[in-house]
Amino acid sequence: MAGNSGRLKLALTLGGLYLLLAALFGALAAVLWADMQEHERLALLAIVMPRLELSILIILLAWFFLGLIVSAVYRAYVMAPLTLREQALVMVSANPGLRLQELGAPEIRTLAQVVNSLAEQREALQRDVEARVREGRASIEEEKNRLAALMSELTQSVVVCNLDGRILLYNNRARLQFKALAGESRSAQDGVLIGLGRSIFAILDRHLITHALENIQQRLARGSQQPVANFVTASRAGQLIRVQMAPVLGGQREAEAGEGARAFAGYVLMLDNITRNFEMESQRDALLQSLTEGSRASLGNIRAAVDNLLDYPDMEAEQRDRFVGIVRDEVAAMGQRLDRTVNEFSDALKARWPLEDMLGEDLVAAAQRRIEGRLELPTKVEEVPEGLWVRVDSFSLLQGLSYLAKRLRDEYDIRELRFRMAQAGRLAQLDLIWSGAVVGSQTLLAWEIDPMNVAGENSPLTLREVIERHGGEIWFEREKASHRAFIRILIPSALPQEALDAAPLMQVDSRPEYYDFNLFRQTEESRALDERLLSELTYTVFDTETTGLEPSAGDEIIQIGATRIVNGRLLRSESIDQLVDPRRPLRPEGIPIHGITEEMVAGQPAIDKVLPLFRAFCEDTVLVAHNAAFDMRFLQLKEEATGIRFQQPVLDTLLLSAVIHPNQESHKLEAICERLGINVIGRHTALGDAIVTGEVFLRMIPLLEEMGIRTLRQAREAAERTYYARIKY
């Protein structure tokens, strides 16, 4: 577009100049012709007519050289300043490290050198200011990191929202909990993870939140110092969630709040899934009621029978036997009820302790301390891999290990016990090794089902129940070469501290971006979307990889990648990176570009399964893509088959680049990144391109503001006027 616009202006300039010269020379010729005598005219024609072709050629050559001169002057004094102006705007607003090219006339080159010198000074001053700002913000960042660390490690789900219900902070526990709750629902909408800028009302009922807020406001008005509200709600999957709400108090008073009332800018939600607790408590209550009600009747019958036996010591033997039988039957019934209660309570006790991640070496060290301290049995460690994590109920497992050690000492006179651990796929092998005696399989089986009793400590669990609790196995083996024997226990292994689940969210040098306090300021939800400032909107930046470049000719999407921009920040932690089975062969020439092979897409979900999740991910946001017409055409062609339509506004960084830099020759993503000083990583992968596009778009927002383009409507209208907006797919 830049080249077309410049050439058009140059052509118009030359055309006007040629017409002006033609008019001047024509007028001069007409005046001279009118002033000549007849014989002068004849003499002039006799001179010119034989040389007419030469005269025209000379005129055309003169015009040609004149055009070259004008073109050179135009490029040197018009196009060069325009190009330098665009580069200067980028340098000021987006890429301070950029330097102006020395283009155009010598005077303009000198000016570019001066501007570059000023830019060097400005960048040095900026570096100095940034260093001082970093020093000043060090303590604040330290407190923020402490808060982020605390929120990340809390075992309770915490979500913080502004008054519009937009989520501005959540911890890892909340993300995992809602992911688990959504996994139990069959609705695609329920599968959406919570995220910054999303509405809490998609998860919890709006009326419950509103009612709780009203209660808190009333307590604030009465002067309560720490007002909280509690309620219980059900998730869409039928889970019971207990919610405690606390306000985030603001520092200013709202006029409508009244004298003496404190305003608050948002609220904190602390959530617990109480479904299992509720079921266990209901079961316990039923057991206690059954025990007490049944025992009351039995005790009444026993008391009556005993009273009769005591009051009538000389009653007949048959009648005495009948009363004794009543006592015997009622005692037996009470015993059965007690046994049933104990057994069922034992089952509830088995589910009491959750499995937690623990270092293998810490587990072995704890077992050594327990066995040596309580059984006075020496222990040693043969081999425990460094960094081996296991997922265990450490209390019950340590009880089981101590119980095995006690049985080995008491029944086989074992004098020393050794520990060994090893990784075995998704499981870990824990071996208890000794020399000498051989334990039979039947003996070990009997140990598994006997009650565990170690140093006077009784457990309601058996060894078999402990192993089943961990989903593991236990058996006996011999090492014939070394004349040793060992009991091997399989227990689940784990990555450190939920690393498997949290790895996609971690940044190289920071914690996951789970907090954004600036969202407290966004409370004007009633404004029309088109009139919202670009800096205030929430965006979904996406990209697709396809089998080819012709969506209307049957090419299909094979990968969708997307990330979000919330409050001017690119949230890499909230993203989609999904391969799609196109149900057709891939084109061989495309595989070296996007790196996706037939084997990679085989077994992946089809597009009709992926689009509902993508729509839920980008709901209530503005879509952003580079060359968006291409990607949107693929989505539009799937509307009839899937019933899914993407009707939100779309911004295209290719069109916006043409708006910002009309005098640049290239608007490819790589060229834009080079101009804006952005490192390109992961090119030609859907998520990689989406992240790069998001960084480009964030750099473009201040450049658009410099041009007076501040709202979504202004950006869309400016993009629609560009040359590239006419491209159709």
pLDDT at 401: 92
Position 700 scores a pLDDT of 93
Domain check: are 580 and 454 in the same one?
A: no
> Which helix (H) or strand (E) segment is 419 a member of?
strand 417-424
- Expressed as residue numbers, the domain containing 313 is 284-350
Kindly state the tokens that stand for 282.
């209901």
> Is pLDDT larger for residue 90 or for residue 148?
90
Tell me: the pLDDT tens digits for 224-248? 666 888 877 776 666 777 888 888 8
Average pLDDT of span 681-692: 82
pLDDT surpasses 60 at 523:
no
Q: What angle do CA 128, 133, 138 make, to 5 degrees?
A: 130
**Structural Rg of the chain based on CA atoms:** 40
- Interhelix angle 52-74/2-35, rounded to 10 degrees, is 140
Burial 29-59 (b: 16+ CB within 10 A, else e): eeeeeeeeeeeeeeeeeeeeeeeeeeeeeee
Burial class (CB in 10 A: 0-12, 13-18, 19+), 545: buried
Q: Which of 49, 80, 107 is the last residue of a domain?
A: 107
Q: 159: closest CA among 213, 202, 192, 196?
A: 196
Distance CA 487, CA 478 (A): 9
User: Is residue 202 very low, low, confident or very high in pLDDT (cuts 50, 70, 90)?
Assistant: confident
Average pLDDT over residues 76-100: 77
Residue 454's pLDDT band, with cuts at 50, 70 and 90, is confident
List all residues 6 or more positions away from 467 whose beta carbon is below 8 Å from its beta carbon. 400, 448, 473, 474, 489
| Contact predicate 491/422, CB 8 Å | no
Asked whether residue 703 is assigned to any structural domain, the reply reads: yes
Whether 163 and 269 map to the same domain: the answer is yes
Decide which of 108 and 537 is more confident: 537
Residues 538 and 635 in one domain: yes
Name the most confidently modeled range: 406-410, 505-509, 675-679.
Answer: 406-410
CA distance 15 to 22: 10
- Of the residues 52, 83, 107, the one at which a domain ends: 107
pLDDT value at 129 more than 80: yes
User: Are 716 and 631 in the same domain?
Assistant: yes
pLDDT at 166: 86
Tokens of 98: 């950029």
The percent of residues above 90 in pLDDT, for the chain, comes to 15
For residue 507, is it within any domain?
no
For 104-249, strand residue ranges (E) read 157-162, 167-170, 229-234, 240-249
Which residues fall within 8 angstroms of residue 75, CB to CB, at 6 or more apart? 104
342 and 427 in a single domain? The answer is no
Both 325 and 361 in one domain: the answer is: no
With 0-12 / 13-18 / 19 or more C-beta atoms within 10 angstroms meaning exposed / middle / buried, residue 75 is: middle
Torsions phi, psi for 144 (to 5 deg):
-65, -40
Mind giving me the DSSP string for 476-539? EEEETTTTEEEEEEEEEEE-GGGHHHHGGG--SSS----B-GGGGG---TTS-GGGSBGGG--E
Does residue 339 belong to any structural domain of this protein? yes
pLDDT at position 186: 41
Q: What is the CATH number of the domain that holds 589?
A: 3.30.420.10
List Cα–Cα distances, 5 to 1, 554, 658, 679, in angstroms. 6, 36, 11, 30
Final residue of a domain: which of 243, 273, 303?
Answer: 273
CATH number of the domain where residue 217 is located: 3.30.450.20
Does residue 279 lie within any of the structural domains? no
Q: Do residues 500 and 396 touch, judged by C-beta distance below 8 A?
A: no
Position 379 pLDDT exceeds 70: yes
* 456 located within any domain: yes
Determine how β-strand 379-383 pairs with β-strand 417-424.
parallel
Q: Is residue 121 part of a domain?
A: no
Q: How many domains does the chain contain in total?
A: 5
148-152, 321-325, 540-544: lowest mean pLDDT where?
A: 148-152
Instruction: Name the maximum alpha-carbon separation found in the chain.
Output: 177
pLDDT in tens, 474-489: 988 888 777 889 999 9
Please indicate, yes or no, if residue 503 is contained in any of the structural domains.
Answer: no
Q: What is the reported pLDDT for 517?
A: 47
pLDDT in tens, 329-376: 877 777 777 776 666 655 555 445 567 778 888 899 989 998 998 888
State the burial class of residue 149 (Cβ atoms within 10 Å of its Cβ: 0-12, 13-18, 19+). exposed
Residue 543 tokens read as: 């990209």
Q: What percent of the chain has pLDDT over 70?
A: 81
Question: 398 with 313, same domain?
Answer: no
168 part of a folded domain? yes
240 CB-contact burial (10 Å; exposed 0-12 / middle 13-18 / buried 19+): middle
Indicate whether 724 pLDDT > 50.
yes
Residue ranges of alpha helices (H) inside 36-105 are 38-48, 52-74, 80-93
HSE on the CB side for 565, CA within 13 Å? 25
| Same structural domain, 703 and 576 | yes
CATH code, domain carrying 398: 3.30.565.10
Cα angle: 264, vertex 269, 274; to 5 degrees: 155
> Do 89 and 225 reside in the same domain of the chain?
no
Is the same domain home to 266 and 301?
A: no
CA atoms within 13 A on the CB side of 687: 12
Given a cut of 90, whether residue 542 has pLDDT beyond it is: yes
552 and 691 share a domain? yes
Residues 196 and 308 in one domain: no
